Amino acid sequence: MKNAKTMVRKYWKVYVAAVVLAVICDMIGTVKINTGIGTLTLFPMVFAVILGGLLGPDVLKLLDTEQSKAGGTLVLVVLAPFMAKMGISAGANLGKLVSVGPALILQEFGNLGTVFLSLPIALLLGLKKEAIGACYSINRDSNLGLTTDIYGPDAAETKGTFAVYIVGSVIGTVFISILAGVVASWNIFHPLALGMASGVGSGSMMLAATGVLGEMYPAYADDIMMLGGTSDMLTGITGIYMGTFVGLPLARKLYAWLEPKLGKKKHRKGTK
Amino acid sequence: MKRYVIQQMALLCLVSVIMILTNLIGYDMPLTDSIIGILVLDGIALCGLAISKYMSRFIHLPSMMYVSLTALLLACPISPVQAWIVETTSQVAFMAPVTALGAFAGISLSKDLKNFVKMGWKMVFITLLVISGTFIFSALVADVVLKLTHAV
């Protein structure tokens, strides 16, 4: 059983760290802070992300890069039972799922809306071709693969995707849990719509968002989880195609149209 | 194939311990029910992963899709085991896997911190916009369609 030995060596430290983190964070529990823009709900998960981040090779050096990568593998393992729970909920409420089906499918296109918001601002900030890679999607693992595949590892577009990928993995879960709480407190979207929106294509971000939403709307908590999970699954399946055939072409068109206007304005300001 | 299943089973058992702890500490669920519920979820997850591994020879789709579809079929109204599946897993909080997930996600991101510090404030700002845009526009479309189709 040489195989088992290498596995033990690879995972034991990561595992012990995770057990300790989970117990500490669960004992802290959910913390709610009232702020001016709404209630900030901090889950044990958020504490676990922050503390886990500190353990790695760059801060406390308790875990090396190899072990940090093993942590990434285990994220998927933990996601599997959650997806099973989500599937059970979806199966048991099949009628409900079908009735919201059109919204669930069409909101996948809403993921592309971010191009219209972020690309013009990226250009105003002076970004060039990186803006295409940075703004066409939420830039999780599959998108990073896609941009690298299309433009090559050294292209400006890929650098943009990579930047958003890195920033997203570091602050994504914490940020989206704050965002979900703030948007929910506006009271303009139905809780179920917010649940669907949580499926952005990253399991950990989805759980962070649906967790906060479930806390805010206890009556809808299970439906929010189910819809967030289903939507995340849909994004996982459609994401690559959406990116290839809609997201990237859209970002390129918008870039070609806006860059001369916004880019120039920036340039003129610079020469004055 | 056999090795993959055994490996995944071992990893699932390991992370399940953390999930059971979260279920007990964070959500005050009874111990025996937690264990049974998590084991059922693990079983389904393992089936899904095995199917995914097998299917990856023909078509590449996210393995989580197979896991949730397996669960969906087992729990849908025509399934003979629906009542049992729903009953046994009801004692596992939806959020039970989440703390463990956060811990692993944190450990996993720790290797990116150095790169993160190198990124300028512009990229951080753009990332926040990209995430906000994705979330808010999806919510907008979902909300409009839900109301148009009279689903809510």
At residue A272, does pLDDT exceed 50?
A: no
Inform me whether the pLDDT recorded for A263 exceeds 80. no
CA–CA distance, A254 with A248 (Å, rounded to integer): 10
What pTM was estimated for this model as a whole?
A: 0.88
Contact A56/B92, CB-based, under 8 Å?
no
pLDDT digits (tens, 9 = 90+) for A215-230: 899 999 999 999 999 9
Query: Region A137-146: what's the mean pLDDT?
Result: 90
H or E segment and range at residue B99: helix B98-109
Per-residue model confidence (pLDDT) at position A147: 93
Determine the residue of chain A that is closest to B68 in CA distance: A87
Q: Looking at CA atoms only, how far is residue B91 from chain A in angstroms? A: 11
ipTM of the complex: 0.91
> A2 pLDDT band (50/70/90 cuts)?
low
In the three-class reduction of DSSP (H, G, I as helix; E, B as strand; rest coil), residue A38 is classed as: strand
Low-confidence ranges of chain B (pLDDT < 50): none
Q: Check pLDDT > 70 for residue A127.
A: yes
pLDDT over 90 percentage in chain A: 66
Question: B2-43: per-residue pLDDT in tens?
Answer: 888 998 999 999 999 999 999 998 888 899 999 999 999 999
Q: Can you give the pLDDT at residue B36?
A: 94
| Three-class DSSP category at A100 | coil
| Best residue in A12, A167, A173 for a mutation probing chain B (most B CBs within 10 Å) | A167
Rg of chain A, C-alpha, whole Å: 20
Best mutation target, B135, B145, B147, to test chain A (most A CBs within 10 A):
B135
Say how many Å lie between the first and final Cα of chain B, rounded. Answer: 45
What average pLDDT does this structure show over A71-94?
91
| CB-based burial, B97-132: b 16+ in 10 Å, e otherwise | bbbbbbbbbbbbbbbbbebbeebeebbbebbbbbbb
The CA distance from B31 to the nearest CA of chain A, in Å, is 16
Higher pLDDT, B82 or A35: B82
Cβ distance of A26 and B21 shorter than 8 Å:
yes
Contact A56 B124 (CB under 8 A): no
Distances (CA, A) of A59 to A56, A228, A267, B117: 6, 33, 40, 12
Please determine, for residue A267, whether its predicted confidence score (pLDDT) is greater than 70. no
What is the predicted pLDDT for the residue at B66?
Answer: 92
Is the distance from CB of A200 to CB of A111 less than 8 angstroms? yes
In the predicted structure, residue A271 carries a pLDDT above the cut 50 = no
Inter-chain contacts counted by CB atoms under 8 A, chains A and B:
432
pLDDT, position A264? 58
- pLDDT at residue A270 greater than cutoff 50: no
The reported pLDDT for the residue numbered A42 is 85
Give the residue-averaged pLDDT of A90-101: 91
Whole-number pLDDT of residue A265: 57
Average per-residue pLDDT for chain A? 89
